[in-house]
Amino acid sequence: MTTEATSVTQGHRSAVRRIADMLQLLQDSVPIQRRVVRAGDTVYQVGQQFGCLYVVSSGFFKMVNLSGEGREQVVGLHFKGDWLGLDGIATAQYGCDAVAMDTGEVWAIRYDELLQAAIRTPALLTALHEAMSRELTRDHDSMLSLCTLPADARVAGFLRYWADALAQRGLRTDQFTLRMTRAEIGNYLGMTLESVSRALSRMARGDVIRFTEKGRRDIHIPQVEALTSFMRSAAPMSAAALH
C-alpha cells in the first residue's frame, strides 16, 4: 500500500519532470512564437492550412471535431505540455478546432523548423514522437471507455482521467474545478448532459465524490480508489473476466 502510493507519486513526479524538461528543450532549441489565449479563443480551426504545431505552456484546451452534417464532437482534452495540431500533419490541414477553455498560453512552432531542429537535436524528435504516441494511446483508451462502459462508469473514468492529468502536472488531485459544462463532458463521453448530471449525483450520494460548497463544478475526491471501485461496480462483468 505504502509502496504503491510511493511508486505512483514517483510516476507522477517523473511526468512533471518530463514535461518541464520538454518545455525547456523546446525553448532552447527551436524558434517559438508565444501566444496568449483566453477562454473561448481558438488556437486554430478545422480546415485551416497546417503550418505550426502548438505546445501548451499553460491553460486547458479542447479539440472539437465537426462533421460535415453539423455533428460536433469533443475528441480530446489537452493540458500543459501537450501538443496540439498533430492531426494536421498528414493532410496539411488541421483536423479540428482547438479551443481554449481558460486563460492560457501556447507556443507555436513551425513544423518545418521543428524538423530541421530535430535533426540537430534528436531529443526533440523523441519528444514529438512520444507526444503523438501518447495521444494515440489516450484515444484508444477513450474508445475502450466509450464502447465498453455504461454511462456512470464513463463519468467516473473521466474524473479519474482528469485527476491523473493534474497529478502528472504536479497539481492537487483531491480537489479540482472541472472547467467544462455538463454538456461538454457529455459530448466528450458520448452521452447527454442529463446523464452526466445524474451520474455525478449518484457518485455524490455514494460519497465517491463531494461537491464543494461553492458551485457544482468544484469536485472533491476523498480517495481515488473509490472512483475506481465505483467504475467497477457500474461496469457489467464481462464473460472474459469471469474466469
Partner DNA sequence: CGAAAGATTGAGATATTTCAACTGCGGTGG
Partner DNA sequence: CCACCGCAGTTGAAATATCTCAATCTTTCG
Residues binding its own copies (CB under 8 A): 63, 65, 67, 69-73, 75-76, 86-91, 95-96, 115, 118-119, 122, 125, 128-137, 139-144, 146-149, 187, 189-190, 232, 235, 238, 240-242
Binding positions for DNA, 114-173, rule CB under 7 A? 150-152
DSSP-based three-state secondary structure for 14: helix
Could you say whether residue 183 binds DNA (CB under 7 A)?
yes
3-state secondary structure 176-202: EECCCCHHHHHHHHCCCHHHHHHHHHH
31 binds DNA (CB under 7 A): no
- Provide, rounded to whole angstroms, the least separation between the CB of residue 237 and DNA: 10
* Residue 22 engages DNA in binding (rule: CB under 7 A): no
Q: Which is nearer to its own copies, 2 or 238 (CB)?
A: 238
- The reply to whether 57 sits near DNA by the rule CB under 7 A is no
Work out what residue 209 binds among its own copies, DNA, none; the CB cut-off runs from 5 to 8 Å by kind: none
- Binding-site size for DNA (CB under 7 A) equals 23
Residue 133 binding target from DNA, its own copies, none, CB below 5 to 8 Å by type: its own copies
Q: Determine if residue 47 is left, alpha or beta; phi over 0 gives left, psi from -120 to 50 gives alpha, anything else beta.
A: left
| Run of H or E including 53 | strand 52-58
Q: What 3-state DSSP class applies to 50? A: coil
Residue 217 near DNA by CB under 7 A: yes
206 scored as a contact of DNA (CB under 7 A): no
Asked if residue 185 lies in contact with residue 192, where contact means CB atoms within 8 angstroms, the answer is no
Helices marked H in the chain: 2-29, 111-120, 122-148, 151-167, 182-189, 193-205, 224-234
Comparing CB distances to DNA, the nearer of 161 and 211 is: 211
Residue 195 found at the interface with DNA (CB under 7 A):
yes
DSSP 58: E
Q: What is the identity of the amino acid at 223?
A: Q
119 binds, among its own copies, DNA, none (CB under 5 to 8 A by kind): its own copies
Quick one: 27 or 181, whose CB is closer to DNA? 181
How far are the Cα atoms of 71, 170, 217, 229 from residue 132, in angstroms, in the given order? Answer: 25, 22, 30, 30
- Structure-block grid coordinates of residue 31: 524558434
Cα distances (angstroms) measured from residue 107 to each of 32, 38, 116, 195 = 6, 14, 17, 36
148 binds, among DNA, its own copies, none (CB under 5 to 8 A by kind): its own copies
For DNA, the binding residues (CB under 7 A) are 150-152, 181-183, 190-198, 200-201, 211, 214-217, 236
